[in-house]
Amino acid sequence: MAMAALRREGRRLAPLISPRTITAVRSSPLYPTLEDEGPLGVRHISTQVVRNRMKSVKNIQKITKAMKMVAASKLRAIQTKTENSRGLWQPFTALLGDLPSADVKKNVVVTISSDKGLCGGINSTSVKISKGLHKLNSATGPEKETKYVILGEKAKAQLVRDSKKDIELIITELQKNPLNYTQVSVLADEILKNVEYDALRIVFNKFQSVVSFVPTVSTVLSTEIVEREAESGGKLGDLDSYEVEGGETKGEILQNLAEFQFSCTMFNAVLENACSEQGARMSAMDSSSRNAGDMLDRLTLTYNRTRQASITTELIEIISGASALEG
């Protein structure tokens, strides 16, 4: 009698079960096996799939927390250098002035970015400002020429797509070794040797705090433009209040000062951008860790519900089977 009842139940459930070819497949969170899928037409998720996803999210959370700690350590090391470097370029601004609105024919935009990602939008911000300067200078007249000098892999990847013909020089892996003035001054000398310019526009992110940075443009004029602005009554710094002594002419002194100003400004800009990068990476990794925690909470709730549903289903099957045997 019990066997007859089981046969009747089997005939009743037969239309719901579609015949499938059983093949040996490898179980994974993305491609569950037949054991994970359940009957056709029934919403079902395997506890094994949820466990695998929970494990993946936990591993990602560990990585993001570790990256946040590494970024914090690097930030502390760079921040002191950055604050000390601000005293290098400020005297040059007082001496030679800073003329971002100077009308020149040959502009060179030096875009400073990072070599690695996962640091928010600091690289996109620098690239947008660089493109804006290029567009602004090109719109003032057909005789104006604007070129790019790129520092960093991320700015290179974005600018090569749109402005490859305007790129004069690309320098990457700048932060592979600890940053120092000697290293940056060699790079500045390399830029001055390979690029003809009337004005150098250095685009970087100035560090304010861990969660704040300010996109900044510093301008370094060539010797000819400085002399032209001085002769035309342009507003410069305090250079004219000093007397020139010795055998050097004023032009030679301006040439030396302009080169030294560019290397000091570059050194500060590279450090400010590196500091902003680590601060932005700290914020991005902290947000990622919190998001992973929220996802883990949701997956834990899903896992508990799935496990409870499977237990309830098994109990119902046992009770139904026992009732069928008794009947």
Q: If DSSP codes are grouped into helix, strand and coil, which group holds residue 265?
A: helix
pLDDT higher for 96 or 53? Answer: 53
Task: Indicate the range of 42-56, 66-80, 139-153 predicted with least confidence.
Answer: 42-56
> Quick check: is 299 in a domain?
no
Q: Is the pLDDT of residue 178 over 60?
A: yes
Distance in angstroms (rounded) separating the CA atoms of residues 132 and 111 = 12
Residue 176 belongs to some domain of the structure: yes
Of 2, 22, 191, 207, the closest CA to residue 108 belongs to: 191
pTM recorded for the entire structure: 0.77
**Total domains in the fold of the chain:** 1
pLDDT at residue 292 tops 50:
yes
User: Does some domain include residue 167?
Assistant: yes
CA–CA gap between residue 163 and residue 292 (Å, rounded): 38
- Residue 54 in any domain: the answer is no
Query: Quick one: pLDDT at residue 238?
Result: 62
* Residue 278 banded pLDDT, cuts 50, 70, 90: very high
User: For residue 165, is it within any domain?
Assistant: yes
Cα(90)–Cα(261) distance, integer angstroms: 9
Nearest residue to 47 (alpha-carbon basis) of 32, 25, 26: 32
- 90 has pLDDT over 90: no
Question: Domain range for residue 283?
Answer: 65-235+252-287
Question: Would you say residue 292 lies in a domain?
Answer: no
In a domain, 184, yes or no: yes
